[in-house]
Amino acid sequence: MRILLAEDERKVAEHIRTGLVAEGYAVDVAGDGDEAIWLAESNAYDAMLLDITMPHKDGITVVRILRRKNILSPVIFLTARDDVENKVRGLDAGADDYLTKPFSISELLARLRAVLRRQRPQATTIVAVGGLELDLISHEARRGGLQIELTPREFALLEFLISNSPKPVSKTAIVEHVWDQHFDSETNVVNVYIKMLRKKIDLPTLPPLIHTVRGVGFALREEKS
């Protein structure tokens, strides 16, 4: 999933970004409120993490502007302020949760999973296609009763494919959702990751699930014989 992180303190931003990337999230970082608005208008984010105190426009102003523009991605405020008044102002502006600094990355990840689940209340934590199962909480994958070891980036790519199954997704869409805005989309890294996933997912005794759709991209689906 792709996350927007707006935080003007570079060390704090890098610490949070590193923790999220390690869990397989693609993260775009904004250093002020104006940049956060520009990125949110230019990209589709699954969630946004916004510091309240930022240059140019504070986090509460950013959320109000985005909500007026009908950009409804869930928002968690990150701030050193812990008084009730600021919490109420943030939530009334349209935020979904509020996390007071300092906080642990594990708590942030739990809050992030919670707001994402609220966006999809009908969704289960287990998704499956053709005997392939992904646990979106534990980040475990299984097929044919065997556990499959995946890196965080492999899991993120597989999750994106399975969430769009059986429809194909383009390389551009994969880059936009699995990597961040600084990624060079001209490289063949998507092909490399697809090849690695096929070796792990498309087991010799089972029908292939990952298919190349010429002129479009890739699809994860169970095809009838």
| Among candidate residues 86, 119, 152, the one where a domain is terminated | 119
Residues 111 and 205 in one domain: no
CA distances, 65 to each of 6, 35, 58, 95, 195 (Å): 15, 13, 11, 12, 42
In a domain, 10, yes or no: yes
How many domains would you assign to the chain? 2
**Which tokens in the block code for residue 48?**
């946004």
In a domain, 23, yes or no: yes
Please tell me whether the overall predicted TM-score, pTM, comes out greater than 0.75 for this model.
no
Residues 108 and 131 in one domain: no
- Tell me the CATH number at 146: 1.10.10.10
| Among candidate residues 119, 145, 163, the one where a domain is terminated | 119
- Of the candidates 202, 196, 126, the residue with the CA atom closest to the CA atom of residue 154: 196
Distance between CA atoms of residues 193 and 102, nearest Å: 36
* pLDDT of 88 strictly over 90: no
Greatest alpha-carbon pair distance for the chain in Å reads 62
Residues 98 and 19 in one domain: yes
pLDDT in tens, 25-48: 888 899 999 999 999 998 888 899
Residues 13 and 114 in one domain: yes
Residues 19 and 35 in one domain: yes
pLDDT value for 119: 66
More confident residue, 190 or 126: 190
| Among candidate residues 90, 119, 148, the one where a domain is terminated | 119
Residues 70 and 135 in one domain: no
Once rounded to an integer, what is the mean pLDDT over residues 114-134? Answer: 72
Residues 44 and 96 in one domain: yes
Residues 90 and 195 in one domain: no
In a domain, 101, yes or no: yes
Residues 130 and 80 in one domain: no
In a domain, 158, yes or no: yes
Once rounded to an integer, what is the mean pLDDT over residues 9-24? Answer: 87
Residues 12 and 115 in one domain: yes
Q: How many CB atoms within 10 Å of residue 135?
A: 14
Residues 169 and 211 in one domain: yes
Distance between CA atoms of residues 5 and 24, nearest Å: 15
- Tell me the CATH number at 32: 3.40.50.2300
Residues 111 and 146 in one domain: no
In a domain, 225, yes or no: no
Once rounded to an integer, what is the mean pLDDT over residues 150-172? Answer: 85
In a domain, 69, yes or no: yes
In a domain, 205, yes or no: yes
Q: What is the residue range of 143's domain?
A: 126-220
Confidence band, pLDDT 50/70/90 cuts, at residue 122:
very low
